[in-house]
Amino acid sequence: MNVECQPVQPVSVVAFHGTNDDHVLYEGGEPINKADPHPRVDNSVAYAMSFWSQRDGCAPTPKREECGNIVRDEYTGCANGTGVLLFTIKGGPHIWPLSRGFFMTDPPAQGLSATDAMWEFFKKHPKP
């Protein structure tokens, strides 16, 4: 999340991020690998989740669940039925979980189907 964002109403957000992503670093900073030559410094995943949870009026501390290499942080009590949810994949690279990786070079993530998790999240938090 590297742009100024001012949503006019609460917005549900679900994010998936690997801790070994070298295209968008989990802790933020300049990418190790880039798809384009433009310089950039990314904010951290924690920054983005803090922004959305505060913007949506959620509880400041997420409910955490861990299973294997998957960490699920869910911010609750958000305004207007919205939700904010982060899936962290420990050791995960820049991929869509349970798919082939970036340019088919990274191995698939195990233990999480991002597509299924996203569908379940938005069924629980539909836009009013």
Angle at 52 between CA 50 and CA 54, to 5 degrees: 65
Domain span holding position 94:
13-124
Number of domains in the chain: 1
Q: Hey, what are 79's tokens?
A: 């305004």
Q: Is 7 inside a domain boundary?
A: no
| pLDDT value at residue 109 | 52
Dump strand ranges (E) for the chain: 13-18, 63-67, 70-75, 84-89
Q: Is 4 inside a domain boundary?
A: no
Residue 89's SS3 state is: strand
Q: Is 6 inside a domain boundary?
A: no
| pLDDT value at residue 110 | 58
| pLDDT value at residue 102 | 47
Measured CA to CA, the distance from residue 56 to residue 51 in angstroms comes to 9
**pLDDT mean for each 10 residues of the chain (128 residues):** 82 94 92 87 94 94 92 95 95 76 51 86 87
Strand partners of residue 70: 67, 89
| pLDDT value at residue 4 | 82
- Indicate the pTM of the whole model: 0.86
| pLDDT value at residue 127 | 82
